[in-house]
Chains A and B, each alone.
Chain A
Amino acid sequence: MRVLVVIAAVIVLGVGATAYALRTPEEIPVAIEPGPVELSTGRLLFVDDASGKVASVPLSSPDGPRRVSSLSCKRFFTAAKQGLCLADRGGPFPGSVAIFVDQSLTETHRIDVAGVPNRVKLSPDGRMASWTTFVTGDSYAQTGAFSTRTGIYDRETLLYQSNLENLRVPGMKRAEDRNYWGVTFTEDDHTYYATLSTGGKTHLIKADTTDNFAKPLRENAECPSLSPDGKRVAFKKRVPGDGARPWRQHVLDLSTMVETPLAETRGIDDQVVWLDNDTIAYGLPGEGIWAVQANGEGAPRQLVPRASSPSLVTG
């Protein structure tokens, strides 16, 4: 009798869980146009929410029909008509793969990376590639034991640094709890900005791949993104608040070190991109891709619904 009750419970719970898992969320249809996705000037590239694949629209009509490719990515970035896709590797344990693609999104090279995809960026001329993944270590021990892995790959010398960890930061103690994320390269292809977290605080650092020295510029700044003219850095700054995404996007003038909060008040958890020297674009989970002025004025406007990880083909 008792055994029958347990068997009945197994069946009921099993059916219930299966029904829950198979329940499909309502899809909001978006218009799709046929045609290849190519890295041609003026196209805004992004990851399509519904398919998880790289898609594009012309920046002149971003809410119009989109072209969808067959390349699956969590994050995608394009510069100098080359693309870098950070995708899930597949398999029962988390892992990523960085896929380099040419103008027609054909794969040219790939690198396996540990952890879950988070950020990806190319230098303006496409030579330096960098990415960040999240690694959950000891699943059995403490909750929240989390670290970031940030890799840098030089496509000219083929030098690959799988994790930034040996950076020397004068004036800062060498501690084991250092984490780096969100690299953004300057035009010289060796100077870059990134986030360094240690002792519960985040720092904006300026570092160099040639000597592995880094200099902290200011506290409380994450996911920097350098403007096309190289004079300003957009970053997210932690603000007080209960809940996920307690950030406000700011722009820092590197010559005066004056920061300006942007008009977007929703928390942005993204490494934003610059569409030009006056506009940044970013993804908001479930709300698509938005743009806002970089000088703190104006109001945010939606560019592409049902999409994330924007980047613009220029030049």
Chain B
Amino acid sequence: MYIATARQAPAAGGTGRIAGNVFALGAVSLLTDVSSEMVTAILPLYLVLGLGFSPLQFGVLDGIYTGVTALVRIVGGHAADRWQRRKLVAGLGYGISAVGKLGLLAAGTSATAMGLVLAGDRTGKGLRTAPRDALITLSSEPSALGRAFGVHRAMDTVGAFLGPLVAFCLLWTLPARYDVVFVVSFCFAALGVLVLVLFVRDHRDVLPRVAVSLKSAFGLLRSRPFRRVCLVTCGLGFLTLGDGFIYLLLQKKLEVDVAYIALLPLGTAGVYLLAAVPMGALADRVGRWRMFLVGHLALLGAYLLFAGTSGIPLLVGVLALHGLFYACTDGVLMAVAGPMIPDELRTSGLALLQTGQVLARASSSVLFGALWTWFAW
């Protein structure tokens, strides 16, 4: 019964207009990503050099945060559906993360306070992702959904691209002024929230007044196509190496100066940024699920390159395939799943799928990290 509205085969076209809402959400994501990637890029430096934490004191908690985020995602998705207020829940998520930037300044040298601020930031990220993606699916023509996600993810990645550059340029001109980086990061995040409030429209029309409960959200898994998507996504997620490992492997194999590891993600982001829209449009034409699976072949190709090539071909090949993998899978997966879920449960359903994927990838990271540590590759 839950798939009543779902599963129109992708229409042949994929040339429909991209909704203003998608561009608005893209702008919000761009600003927010500049803000968060600024902080991510310099946080280790700040903690260790600015505050004098031991290099090993942080990072351990990463796994715990992932668990918290997973829970928050489900609860946030449910709340957004229950009151049909996706914009509000997403805005709450963006807002928490914005305030968190100032919290970094206030936390001072207390490890507990710092941990709480970082957990708050992840909570914000967990809250906003599913309602945002649900809004994109609800605002777009079903036939051009892949392209709509492509546009959103490309804008998002521009932010991820600019964030570290802004942060390092600030630290370059104002040495050791981590506080200025946090203040500027807060400004970007605040602008993001403002753009969300002013330009993003929630979809509050055509509401079949169905009672929305957590049970009904998990009940989505009774639909075979959606269950298949969830299971395959989790399975593939479990086989996916974390980005950090890919860059570490590249650095080891190429023996590049460690300082330049920081630049490797820019290669992936650059390819992702350029390929997101064409791959999304292509997915609309050839089938999004097929595209999602093919995307994983690109990742497999990247792994195989490690065995077969070296030098510049390895570097360029791996980064290109890695970027392509993201372009073919990240937004495309949401475009696959969106139409399978009835409107009133859209956010819960997407949250469920994202949570599964996040948990699968996290457990794969933990496992691979343990192998890496103990069997010295």
Contacts and interface: CB of A to CB of B under 8 A. Distances in A.
A245 B55 contact: no
A141 B247 contact: yes
B221 interface: no
B376 interface: yes
B53 interface: yes
B111 A244 contact: yes
A146 B55 contact: yes
Contact of A6 (B171, B194, B265, B374): B194
Interface string B110-125: 1110000010000000
The bracket for how many chain B residues form the interface is: 35 or more
A42 interface: no
A99 B247 CA distance: 30
A225 interface: no
A188 interface: no
B211 interface: no
Nearest to A247: B54
A135 B52 contact: no
B58 A144 contact: yes
Given A14-B187, A17-B184, A244 B49 contact: no
A2 interface: yes
A299 interface: no
A138 B262 contact: yes
Interface string A275-292: 000000000010000000
Interface string A1-26: 01001100110011011001100000
B177 A90 contact: no
Interface stretch (B160-168, B302-310, B339-347): B160-168
Contact of A136 (B52, B118, B262): B262
A22 B337 CA distance: 49
B100 to A, nearest CB: 13
Contacts of B18: none
A13 B198 contact: no
B25 to A, nearest CB: 15
A244 B198 contact: no
Contact of B41 (A20, A139, A176): A139
Contact of A5 (B45, B177, B198, B373): B198
Interface in A239-269: 242-246, 267, 269
Interface string A82-111: 000000101111110000000000000000
A134 B44 CA distance: 10
Contacts of A10: 191
Contacts of B67: none
A149 interface: yes
B373 A175 contact: yes
B73 to A, nearest CB: 19
- Most chain A beta carbons < 10 A, residue from B43, B51, B54, B57: B54
Contact of B44 (A145, A238, A244, A245): A145
Given A16-B187, A143-B118, A91 B262 contact: no
B262 A134 contact: no
Interface in B249-301: 251, 257-259, 261-265, 269
Interface string B92-131: 0000000000000000011110000010000000000000
Given A136-B262, A177-B373, A242-B112, A20 B244 contact: no
Interface in B23-71: 37, 40-41, 43-45, 47-49, 51-60, 62
A242 B111 contact: yes
B19 interface: no
Interface string B158-183: 00100011001101101101011001
27 contacts: A6-B195, A14-B187, A21-B177, A92-B168, A93-B262, A114-B257, A116-B45, A136-B44, A136-B45, A138-B265, A139-B40, A139-B164, A141-B243, A141-B265, A143-B43, A144-B43, A144-B44, A144-B55, A144-B59, A146-B55, A173-B374, A175-B373, A176-B373, A176-B377, A243-B109, A243-B110, A244-B51
Given A9-B191, A114-B257, A137-B247, 12 more contacts: A20-B183, A92-B168, A93-B262, A115-B259, A135-B259, A136-B45, A144-B55, A176-B373, A197-B55, A199-B373, A242-B111, A244-B109
